[in-house]
Amino acid sequence: MASNMFSDNAASAPSAAVDKDDLMIPLIDFGPFFTGTPSDKHRVALSITKAFKTSGFLYLKAHGIPPSIVSGVFASSARFFARPQSEKDSLGWTTPQSNRGYVAIGREKLTTVEETTGVETLRASAPDIKETMELGREGVEGLPNRWPDHLDDEGKRFKETMQSFFQMGKTLHKHIMRAIALGMNLPEHFFDNSVHAGDNTLRLLHYPAVSKEVFKNNPNQVRAGEHSDYGSITLLFQDRHGGLQVRSPKGTFVDATPIADTIVVNAGDLLARWSNDTIKSTRHRVIQPPMPEGSENDASEYPARYSIAYFCNPNSDKLIEAFPGTFGGEMQAEKKYSAITSGDYLVQRLTATY
Ligand SMILES: O=C(O)CCC(=O)C(=O)O
Ligand SMILES: [Fe+2]
């Protein structure tokens, strides 16, 4: 019956988490992808793929990582950043090839400027006000993680917590890639062998409390500069303070306000390239959070913010070139990019920003 069909569709349609200046970011329930009928699964896959093709961003709930695990990772991250600076510096990030270790405030400048000289100028005028800890896949020859486990018991627990969370992110990446495969009319397991290594980066971020003066005195000041992500997809866990903004088709920046127990998922440049630009990698940035109404407005500082960005990547040795259905055919679309391995591409991009 037509009316039933209509109400079924209406009930299952994703709601808009953000809808401003032609930027629509849906909130998608991933649950039915795991437990629903094949048609539920297909419907979820299509809404995920549609979001990646339009805004490049979505919010995901029922993604399979329990909220208690996420809060444990946030707490462990906060304790890590509260360590003395000398301890953190002893675990410092070294090379783009490794991309592992602690990155102090001002070291990385996220930007859209591809040339290193431009990055240098920006870094000098308005460095990102953030510190990060980058954690990679374990067991890669010559590229060890910089764990604090030799420091104390807390350091040992940090290592266990992050290793276990790393595996959860890897699994979620696989499931989202399966949704994309279905949504792009490919076999569900099409990407499995391209992402199974888990060459991902778990980045813990801490944006320290900052005096309001800092932003007032420098209009270019941000917490993290405008950029797009480099890999396949990013799983972003935010705390309750906002500040993340996504660039709209109109060129404005629109708040991606935190929604409890959801993650923000966005497509990265490698997925855009892999999909022959049918999927969008959208620019975003982090600014000072909007201040809540009331007494906090009088505070002289913006509060600290923590986030967790789990950058998913194809296997390092995977040759990335347009996948089937995104070139040729009726649209007569050309392959827009030459093939490059995921590992080489990421090193190129990281070299430009550090
Ligand atoms: O902290 C955030 O909310 C976003 C961080 C981010 O975009 C990044 O590290 O690539
Ligand atoms: Fe990002």
Q: Is residue 11 part of a domain?
A: no
The answer to whether position 215 is within a domain reads yes
Q: Is residue 2 part of a domain?
A: no
**Count of domains observed in the chain:** 1
Q: What is the pLDDT of residue 123?
A: 53
Tell me: pLDDT of 2 over 60: no
Residue 95 reports pLDDT greater than 50: yes
Atom of ligand 1 nearest to the CA of 238: 3
CA 250 – CA 226 distance, rounded (Å): 15
Pocket of ligand 1 (CB under 6 A): 203, 205, 224, 229, 236, 238, 244, 284, 286, 307, 309
Q: Is 243 left (phi over 0), alpha (psi -120 to 50) or beta?
A: left
**Residue 287 domain-assigned (yes or no):** yes
110 Cα–ligand 2 center, Å = 8
Q: What integer is the mean pLDDT of 178-188? A: 98
Stronger pLDDT, 170 or 213, i.e. the higher one: 170
Q: How far is it, in rounded angstroms, from Cα 330 to Cα 337?
A: 19
Confidence check: pLDDT of 92 > 60: yes
For residue 316, the CA-to-ligand 2 centroid distance in Å is 20
User: Residues 35-63: what's their mean pLDDT?
Assistant: 97
Residue 5: both structure tokens together: 């069909």
Under 8 Å CB-to-CB from 333, ≥6 apart: which residues? 276, 326, 327
Per residue in 99-132, pLDDT (tens digit) is 999 999 987 766 665 545 555 555 556 788 999 9
Dihedral of CA atoms 187, 189, 191, 196 in degrees, nearest 10, equals -170
**Cα→Cα distances 196→92, 157, 243, 309, 317, Å:** 28, 26, 33, 19, 11
- CATH code of the domain containing 98: 2.60.120.330
- Considering the chain, what is the average pLDDT of its residues? 91
| Res 77 pLDDT > 90 | yes
Q: What is the pLDDT of residues 208-263, one digit of tens each?
A: 999 999 988 888 899 999 999 999 999 999 999 999 999 999 999 999 999 999 99
**Is-contact 246 18, C-beta < 8 A?**
yes
The confidence score (pLDDT) of residue 6 equals: 37
Cβ atoms of 273 and 280 closer than 8 Å: no
pLDDT digit string, tens, across residues 285-327: 999 888 766 655 678 899 999 999 999 999 999 999 999 999 9
Residue 187 structural domain: 16-291+298-353
The ligand 1 atom at the shortest distance from the C-alpha of residue 229 is: 10
Q: Token pair of 320, please?
A: 């990335």
333 inside domain: yes
Place of tokens 């959860």: 168
**Ligand 1: distance of its center to the CA of 285 in Å?**
7
- Determine the distance separating the centroid of ligand 2 and the alpha carbon of 58, expressed in angstroms: 14
pLDDT on residue 8: 42
256 CA closest ligand 1 atom index: 3
8 inside domain:
no
Round to whole Å and give the CA distance between 301 and 209: 6
Q: Indicate whether 9 belongs to any domain.
A: no
Q: What is the pTM of this model?
A: 0.93
Whether 306 maps to a domain, the answer reads yes
**How are beta strands 57-61 and 23-29 bridged, if at all?**
parallel
Q: In this structure, what token pair is assigned to residue 228?
A: 């797009």
Both tokens of 133, joined, read 């800890």
Decide: 162 and 80 in contact? Cβ < 8 Å: no
| 319-320 and 340-341 strand pairing | antiparallel
Give 143 or 1, the one with higher predicted confidence. 143
- Pocket test of ligand 1: the residue of 103, 107, 112, 205 to mutate, having most ligand atoms within 8 Å of its CB, is 205
- Using DSSP bridges, classify how beta strands 224-227 and 210-211 pair: parallel, antiparallel or unpaired: unpaired
- How does residue 11 score in pLDDT terms, banded at 50, 70 and 90? very low
pLDDT at 121: 58
Choose the weakest-confidence range: 28-37, 164-173, 223-232, 331-340. Answer: 331-340
